[in-house]
Structures are given as structure tokens and as C-alpha cells.
């Protein structure tokens, strides 16, 4: 959810308007660049982790971030979407359970989600899965993350994701 005063942390779970954000996250950068890109190109909707998607034969799941084209989800009427997203993003940090993360990724793959990005913050790499892939494509900090045919034209340097996660933002301090 966006802060009342800005759109810099669309998918972060911290407020930035008048509050410190000590560790900006991938959520911030995707929220800023991805959501703006999707809106500017009228491609669909970016969802935060509050939205549940129905995965056929599996049940409802909440990716950290998801994208659905207007062709996939023409209209949103609730906090639950009755179909899988076109893109599911999982951000795996050092506090996440590997078993839980791996299970979610397996379920996304079983649901034939068109594109799955797994952001491994500790290893500073991104795994990319497509339906039918036996192994992921792995991107490092010198690579570029692309939306491929799911988010056409979207590109973001992987290095920006991980440099951002080490940054420190400060509160503007009390108003005088």
C-alpha cells in the first residue's frame, strides 16, 4: 500500500512519509519502477502481498508481488483473484524458511504461471522460471532483469535491486 504522501514505497510494509525506512527493499524498487512502467504502458495491474490468487488444484496463494495483464484479469472486484497471475515474485531473505519458499515456487510452477522471479537477497541473485523449465535461469548483479513477453519492454539492472537493499534512508526529522 502506498504512503499517504508519496508513491516511493508502494509495496514496502513501512511508511516513508515522515518515517525512517532503514532498509529499502526490492518491494520499493519494483513498486516504483515496475508499477509506474505497467501503468504508463497500460499493461495490467501490479498486486502487493495482500492479494490472493487462485492456483488451480493448489488453492489460494499470496506472492510477494504479482502482475496480471488486463487480458488475464480484466476487472478486480476483491482482494482475491480467481486465476493465477502472469508474473509471481518471491523475495527470499535470510529470515525466510527455505522449505516454505521452495514450496511456493514449486506451486507457482505447477500452476504454469508464465514467469516466476525468485529474488534471493542473501545470495544477490535472481532465479527465473518459465513453465516446463527443469532449472531456472540465474541472473547475477551484472545482468538485467527483463519482463520478457509477460511485461513487454520492462528492464531493470539487477545491481540496482541489491544496491538499493543496502542503502539507508533517513527520516526528515520532526517538523519545526
Domain ranges, ordered by start, for the chain = 26-165
Mean pLDDT (the chain) is: 75
* 3-state secondary structure at position 165: helix
End-to-end CA distance of the chain: 28
Query: Which residues have C-beta within 8 Å of that of residue 131, sequence separation ≥ 6?
Result: 109, 112, 113, 114
pLDDT at residue 3, rounded to an integer: 35
DSSP per residue over 122-135, as a string?
TTTEEEEE-TT-SS
Confidence band (pLDDT; 50, 70, 90) for 9? very low
**Architecture of the CATH domain 26-165:** Alpha-Beta Complex (3.90)
For the segment 165-170, the average pLDDT, to the nearest whole number, is 41
Reading the block at residue 142, the C-alpha cell is 551484472
Give strand pairing partners of 69.
Answer: 44
pLDDT at residue 115, rounded to an integer: 96
Query: Which residues have C-beta within 8 Å of that of residue 150, sequence separation ≥ 6?
Result: 67, 69, 86, 87, 114, 115
Quickly count: other Cβ atoms within 10 Å of residue 62's Cβ. Answer: 16
Quickly count: other Cβ atoms within 10 Å of residue 1's Cβ. Answer: 12
Residue 4 has pLDDT above 80, yes or no: no
The per-residue pLDDT for range 49-90, each reduced to its tens digit, is: 888 898 999 999 989 888 999 888 766 666 667 888 999 999
The per-residue pLDDT for range 20-41, each reduced to its tens digit, is: 333 345 555 555 556 678 888 8
Q: Which residue has the higher pLDDT, 71 or 172?
A: 71
| Residues 148, 137: Cα–Cα separation, whole Å | 13
The pLDDT > 70 percentage for the chain reads 68
Amino acid at each position: 500500500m502506498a504512503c499517504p504522501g508519496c508513491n516511493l514505497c508502494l509495496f514496502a510494509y513501512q511508511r516513508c512519509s515522515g518515517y525512517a525506512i532503514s532498509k529499502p527493499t526490492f518491494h520499493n524498487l519494483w513498486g516504483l519502477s515496475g508499477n509506474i512502467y505497467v501503468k504508463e504502458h497500460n499493461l495490467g495491474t501490479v498486486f502487493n502481498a495482500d492479494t490472493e490468487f487462485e492456483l488451480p488444484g493448489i488453492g489460494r496463494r499470496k506472492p510477494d508481488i504479482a502482475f496480471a495483464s488486463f487480458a488475464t484479469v480484466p476487472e478486480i472486484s476483491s482482494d482475491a483473484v480467481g486465476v493465477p497471475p502472469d508474473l509471481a515474485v518471491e523475495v527470499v531473505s535470510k529470515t525466510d524458511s527455505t522449505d516454505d519458499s521452495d514450496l511456493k515456487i514449486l506451486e507457482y510452477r505447477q500452476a504454469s504461471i508464465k514467469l516466476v522471479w525468485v529474488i534471493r537477497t542473501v545470495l544477490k541473485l535472481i532465479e527465473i522460471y518459465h513453465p516446463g523449465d527443469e532449472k531456472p535461469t540465474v541472473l547475477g548483479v551484472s545482468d538485467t532483469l527483463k519482463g520478457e513477453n509477460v511485461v513487454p519492454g520492462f528492464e531493470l539492472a539487477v545491481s540496482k535491486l541489491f544496491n538499493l537493499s543496502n542503502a539507508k534512508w533517513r527520516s526528515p526529522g520532526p517538523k519545526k
